Amino acid sequence: MSKVNPVLFVVTANVPPQMEDEFNEWYNHTHVPEVLGCPGWLSARRFKAVEGAAGSGAPKYLALYELEDASATETEELGRVRGWGKFTPHITDHIKRVYQQIYPIITE
């Protein structure tokens, strides 16, 4: 069995306030299930800033995905569902990062 090197894929973004409900509905019920249907994408959690985002320019929304390894970001399946869909022209402060685990997970 090959060694799995799990990574964390982090996405942050802002969307205009008048689009937040529609954006969250799409993200939670369309985008996340599509992404989790791609090879190597294990889990997803989303967060909304309750402090520090309003008026500061910092992104309000954060999505954390756990991947088997960084190669999961390069599959054809992900290429078909990647992106913001109809929200693309409205997204601001958009950042994607991939973090590799540097400490082993302690399971005992």
Strand partners, 95: 12
* Predicted model pTM: 0.81
What is the pLDDT at residue 102?
A: 57
CA 77 to centroid of chain Cα atoms: 16
pLDDT in tens, the chain (108 residues): 445 677 899 998 888 889 999 999 999 999 999 999 999 999 999 999 887 655 666 788 899 999 998 899 999 999 999 988 888 888 877 777 777 665 666 666
**Rounded CA separation 29/11 (Å):** 17
Correct CATH for 7-100 of 3.80.10.10, 3.60.15.10, 3.90.180.10, 3.30.70.100: 3.30.70.100
The ranges assigned to domains in the chain are: 7-100
